[in-house]
Amino acid sequence: MTVHLQVELDKLKKRILALGAMVEEQLYNAVKALKDRDGGLARAVVESDREIDAWEVEVEEECLKILALHQPVAADLRFIIAVIKINNDLERIGDEAVNIAEAVTYLAGRPAVSHPFDFERMARETQGMLKKSLDALVNLDLDLAYQVGILDDEVDHLYKEIHDGVKRLIPDLPQRVGSLIKLLLISRHLERVADHATNIAEEVIYMIEGLIPRHAR
């Protein structure tokens, strides 16, 4: 590997980690807005999405430039391919955070719906998965990356509980159908964030081992 290529790869890693930090913050704010029924914070999350989109484009362009100019091979090539995919998953997590925030904006303008669903636990598990996947990327931690896939099963279970619970509540609260559907959508968006965090962890595994673990769980 040339010195110039190493410099470019180090810069790329810093960029993808910076994007990860931005997305983590956006998800945190979306979840906080949900917990506090804070429409103002929810709108700020929606507005911040443009910055994440622009950053995602810059990272992809940087990857393509390195591929064209340096023609990396072996581990360096795997790293760049993984970054391209992780970049896309991070952008999609940002979109899911926006979707949650838009639902919160709707809910914040209406009376609260009393429900038994544990959104805080689901959000906590999902945020933990994202953090672990990014920590695995930072430290190239194989064990941590494999843990993320295991945690995804718990989030899937929580999503199913909320999905089934909302369906049971709708006939009893026909006047609150709109709010109940928004709650169902929020759980779906959190479940999708968990899926993208799993994708990131799988790319870390690919980066380290050269194996593609997708569909093998």
Q: What is the CATH number of the domain that holds 123?
A: 1.20.58.220
* Count of structural domains within the chain: 1
Q: For position 31, what pLDDT does the model report?
A: 96
pLDDT less than 70: residues of the chain: 1, 215-217
Specify if 215 maps to a domain.
no
Number of neighbouring beta carbons within 10 Å of residue 22? 17
Q: For position 118, what pLDDT does the model report?
A: 87
Specify if 41 maps to a domain.
yes
Tell me how far apart the alpha carbons of residues 202 and 208 are, in angstroms, rounded to a whole number.
Answer: 10
Tell me, yes or no, if the pTM score tops 0.85: yes
Specify if 217 maps to a domain.
no
Specify if 214 maps to a domain.
no
Tell me how far apart the alpha carbons of residues 184 and 170 are, in angstroms, rounded to a whole number.
Answer: 11
Name the maximum alpha-carbon separation found in the chain: 67
* Residue that the structure tokens 């709108």 belong to: 43
Specify if 22 maps to a domain.
yes
Q: For position 36, what pLDDT does the model report?
A: 95
CA distances from 111 to 101, 178, 186 (A): 17, 11, 17
Specify if 187 maps to a domain.
yes
Contact of 148 with 136, CB cutoff 8 Å: yes
Tell me how far apart the alpha carbons of residues 119 and 99 are, in angstroms, rounded to a whole number.
Answer: 15
Comparing C-alpha atoms, which of 155, 150, 217, 213 is closest to residue 187? 155
Q: For position 212, what pLDDT does the model report?
A: 79
The CA-to-CA distance between both ends of the chain, in Å, stands at: 34
Query: What's the domain range around 91?
Result: 3-209
